[in-house]
Amino acid sequence: MENMLLDIVVYIALGIALGFGIVGVYVWILYYRLKDRIDHMVKEAVAEAEADLVGLEIEVDNGIYFCYNHKDKQFVCQGTTVAEIRQAFGERFPTKTAYLAGGDPAVIAEFQTELLKLSIDTTSPNV
Helix (H, G, I), strand (E, B) or coil at 94: coil
State pLDDT tens for residues 69-111.
Answer: 988 889 989 888 888 888 888 888 888 888 888 888 888 888 8
Q: Which tops the pLDDT comparison, 23 or 61?
A: 23
Q: At what angle do helices 82-92 and 105-121 cross, to 10 degrees?
A: 80
* pLDDT at residue 125 tops 90: no
- Give the least confident one: 1-10, 38-47, 118-127: 118-127
Q: How confident is the model at residue 54 (pLDDT cuts 50, 70, 90)?
A: confident
CB of 88 closer than 8 Å to CB of 77: yes
How many whole angstroms from its chain centre is CA 49? Answer: 7
